Amino acid sequence: MNYNEAVTYLYSSRPPFHQVGAAAYKPGLDNTLRLMAHVGNPHEHLRAIHVAGTNGKGSTSHLIAAALQASGLKVGLFTSPHLVSLTERIRINGQPIAEADVAAFIEQNKDFLDTLQPSFFETMTALAFAYFVQQQVDIAVVEVGLGGRLDSTNVLTPILSVITNIGLDHTEFLGNTLPKIAREKAGIIKPGVPCVIGETHPQTMNVFLDRAQECGILGEGLETTNCRIWFADQCGYLRRCRLREAPDCELKGNYQEHNLQTAFVALRAIIQNSKFKIKNSEIAEGFAHVCSMTGLRGRWETLCEQPLTICDTGHNSHGLQYVAKQLRELTNPHIWIVFGQVNDKDSDISLRLMPQGEKYHYIFTKPDTQRARSAEEMLELWGKEGLAIDSPEEAISYAQQHAAPEDAIFIGGSNYLVGYAISRYTY
């Protein structure tokens, strides 16, 4: 079996969530535990950091991984979804898993996979964990796929749990209120395992405090010896610590300030609660080169200088509020916005957040997934002047043809649209 055959097998026999949505979702850990047992229980042999949250968990995972890499460790990184290639999901020190290793895993375990019928994400989780153990990583940074409590990755007992924030996303699975969603995310908090909460909210604070109490990790603050849970946005440690005077970061989105703070407090917690020794200079090095060190793409990323062309993976109202603010700060005479979303996102709220005015020109399109809203549906939700062009290729081409050299083009609203843009501009 070669790589293309393995990917075809994965997608045809167990279509992934990013393609078909709810039909791919299998809550619970029974399948994952059976699959892990079949491949040697790699989750029991991994030293890991577990990261959940509505937004920012990918950036935070990459920031933590980069700092650990800069300290000389061999670091596994498991994230989702991918933007261009499935191999992006599984990396060691920034290098994606080889296509041959993906093919070998599927071929070796195909009979068992045919019998168990695990989800796409359950299979990818088992592949990632087995690969990290085989490659003898020092530590793995593992991003939750969906939720936390019932997510496949939650078979881990990590050395640190991190929850970036709570927003209304995937409400059909996690609940339709912030406290309900927080309870699902809080499921990654485990007895005796320290935890960092990135952004607090009045509706979710007590959910985390109650879970921390259950797990025996409730404390007062990072510098208190008996503390095992920290609320990063209340710590201020990044502001007080001199990381080369200021925390320079390769990630340029304004919203990354929250992720920087969360990652920094998480790294301080790792230093305090494990054998790993990480210098502030190494944290600064990782933050400053996080994209080049880990392969992170699509976070307020410049794809072209003239006209300035930027893409960003913000895809729900919680994330797009920061994207919208940054778009308003652009001083270009005209900004052409190529925008598309999938049908389980809060598009009506997201669109109300986006900038309006004569300088903003909207081109709605349909990302390449079964879950995508049509361009016409997006335009109808927008309710203002704009264009509907279903083909992402034609939508981006239209923006390129009409933007003057001094204008800007923004492409976003969906990971799938950003993935297409990255492949168009850089491959």
Mean predicted confidence (pLDDT) in 240-268: 78
What is the reported pLDDT for 245? 47
Asked if 51 contacts 76 with a C-beta cutoff of 8 angstroms, the reply is no
Predicted confidence band of residue 52 (pLDDT cuts 50, 70, 90):
very high
Q: Do domains 3-294 and 301-426 have the same CATH topology?
A: no
How much is the mean pLDDT over the chain?
Answer: 90
* Residue position matching structure tokens 């920061």: 322
Q: Which residue from 201, 203, 187 is spatially nearest to 155, judged by alpha carbons?
A: 187
pTM of the model: 0.91
* Residue position matching structure tokens 């990354």: 256
**What are the tens digits of pLDDT across the range 126-154?**
999 999 999 999 999 999 998 899 999 99
Mapping DSSP to helix (H, G, I), strand (E, B) and coil, where does residue 291 land?
Answer: helix
* Architecture in CATH of 301-426: Alpha-Beta Complex (3.90)
Beta bridge partners of 90: 78
Task: From residue 131, give the alpha-carbon distance in Å to each of 10, 97, 124, 199.
Answer: 17, 8, 10, 32
Q: Residue 220 pLDDT > 70, yes or no? A: no
Beta bridge partners of 335: 360, 408
What is the reported pLDDT for 246? 47
Beta bridge partners of 78: 90, 142
**What are the tens digits of pLDDT across the range 298-310?**
999 999 999 999 9
In angstroms, rounded to a whole number, what is the distance separating the alpha carbons of residues 20 and 121? 13
Helix, strand, coil % (nearest 5) of the chain? 50, 15, 40
Would the CA dihedral through 38, 43, 45, 46 be positive or negative?
A: positive
Q: Residue 399 pLDDT > 50, yes or no? A: yes
Token code pair at residue 168: 């209304």
In angstroms, rounded to a whole number, what is the distance separating the alpha carbons of residues 71 and 362? 44
* End-to-end alpha carbon distance in the chain: 26
**Structural fold of domain 3-294:** UDP-N-acetylmuramoyl-L-alanine:D-glutamate ligase (3.40.1190)
Mapping DSSP to helix (H, G, I), strand (E, B) and coil, where does residue 422 land?
Answer: helix
b/e per residue, 216-250, with b = 16+ CB within 10 A?
ebbeeebeeeebbbbbbbebebbeeeebeeebebb
Mean predicted confidence (pLDDT) in 179-199: 93
Mean predicted confidence (pLDDT) in 210-225: 71
Give the residue, 172 or 183, on which the prediction is more confident: 183
Burial class (CB in 10 A: 0-12, 13-18, 19+), 331: exposed
Asked if 21 contacts 371 with a C-beta cutoff of 8 angstroms, the reply is yes
Domain ranges of the chain: 3-294, 301-426
Residues of the chain with pLDDT > 90, as a percent, come to 73
In angstroms, rounded to a whole number, what is the distance separating the alpha carbons of residues 219 and 339? 44
Asked if 87 contacts 94 with a C-beta cutoff of 8 angstroms, the reply is no
Asked if 417 contacts 338 with a C-beta cutoff of 8 angstroms, the reply is yes
**What are the tens digits of pLDDT across the range 150-168?**
999 999 999 999 999 988 6
Q: Residue 226 pLDDT > 60, yes or no? A: no
* Residue position matching structure tokens 């339709």: 176
